[in-house]
Amino acid sequence: MKILIINSGSSSIKFQLIQMPQASVLASGMVERIGIEGGSISYKNASNDFSKKINFPDHASGLKKIAELLMDRDLGVIGSADEINAVGHRIVHGGKQFTETTQVTEEVKANIRRLFSLAPLHNPAHLNGIEVAEDIFKNASQVCVFDTAFFTSIPQKAYQYAIPKHFMDDSRIRLYGFHGTSHKYVSEKALEHLGKPDAKLITIHLGNGCSMAAIKAGKAIDTSMGFGPANGLIMGTRAGDIDQSVIFYMQEHLGYSVKEVSDILLKQSGMLGLTGYSDLRDIEAAAAEGDEVCALALEMNAYRIRKFIGAYTAALNGVDAIVFTAGIGENSSTIRSKVCKEMEYIGIELDESLNGQRSKKLREIQSAFSKVKVMVIPTNEELAIATQVFDLMK
């Protein structure tokens, strides 16, 4: 079975065409910096490795280019769209109703649309991806895998907000959590590597969107994102945790509308609001050249992560390993170094020489004196999604 995996982030699309059940990757690649100057697409298969600078105004244009490359006479790996048996879509917000892998129907699409307000940077792009895929791959089954599903194990003491209970019961306002596919994948890899099924883990997913999870014996007990994917860590364009009084003040005293405040906090804040750049690579480069604003933003970013490590160590009553993953977590030795600095009190010590090495494999980067393992585990949400899609379809 050939399964095309579409993993749309807020400013990127990762894709893999996977032959199941062999789990062999026929083609893969990534569209980057969607809606940002300097966009690009990369694509590779067994005999080709292709990349090109292209500005993509939206996710639909990126998906269409992916389809062109897969069927390209020289670079492609399929002769026609009919060779695709299923398309697996990563969906950020499944609300309370979607707790497992689900085949797309008109009702499913309507429910994803109803959740737009909870994930405004993602769910619209996901639905767009489904509709474009339906048009291009007309005979393929379209299947959704929901990021929120992994967090159904979080106990009520962690998922309920301290507001009148009827808001949770009647309007389903509660913590849901996001990036669950990634947190699930890397935590399983970490447990396998450690050989300790009851290990206490803190997984740190750092990309344009960022989140952390506290995981005990493979089950999530808390996570940094909540009702929507806006709170917690400082992200590319999202503010993360912010005093709600700021929101009231912006509306009541500064004259901003609800939509304007939402746009500011979700699309104009985070690293973009602090520095003018949303891509961490640009910020690190500027900081290295002496830009004090960018240097401060990096310190703020790492400081927020350290606070969550402390909180989750308390929630877990200890920690065996912390795991860095996703684009920034896997590739930014700078962020990893800043996060692990001055963390000796809980037994975290980094080996900077190991941290500075590049690898696409699971690796440990703690010093010989560290009581806590520090791991870098490349996430593979696409394979995790393909497995779930195959299990549903077989």
- Active-site residue list: 147
Q: Which among 125, 136, 128, 46 has a CA at the least distance from the CA of 83?
A: 136
CA distances from 270 to 206, 238, 241, 280 (A): 13, 5, 10, 11
208 is in an annotated binding site: yes
Looking at the DSSP bridge assignments, the partners of residue 366 are 350
48 is in an annotated binding site: no
280 is in an annotated binding site: yes
206 is in an annotated binding site: yes
14 is in an annotated binding site: yes
For residues 182 and 170, the answer to whether their CB atoms sit within 8 Å is no
Q: Which among 362, 277, 281, 374 has a CA at the least distance from the CA of 319?
A: 374
Looking at the DSSP bridge assignments, the partners of residue 316 are none
318 is in an annotated binding site: no
Please state, in angstroms and rounded to a whole number, the distance separating the CA atoms of residues 157 and 352. Answer: 38
HSE-up (13 A, CA, CB side) for residue 246: 9
331 is in an annotated binding site: yes
330 is in an annotated binding site: yes
The backbone torsions φ and ψ at residue 181, rounded to the nearest 5 degrees and listed phi first, read: -60, -40
45 is in an annotated binding site: no
209 is in an annotated binding site: yes
90 is in an annotated binding site: yes
Beta strands in the chain (DSSP E): 2-8, 13-19, 24-32, 40-45, 49-53, 86-91, 102-103, 141-146, 200-206, 210-216, 219-223, 321-325, 363-364, 373-376
Determine the Cα angle at 195 with ends 194 and 198, to 5°: 90
- The token pair that represents 304 in the structure block: 């927020």
7 is in an annotated binding site: yes
CA distances from 126 to 91, 206, 333 (A): 6, 20, 31
Q: 52 Cβ partners below 8 Å, 6+ apart?
A: 40, 41
Q: Which among 191, 215, 218 has a CA at the least distance from the CA of 202?
A: 215
Annotated binding-site positions for substrate: 90
Annotated binding-site positions for Mg(2+): 7, 381
Annotated binding-site positions for ATP: 14, 205-209, 279-281, 327-331
Annotated binding-site positions: 7, 14, 90, 205-209, 279-281, 327-331, 381
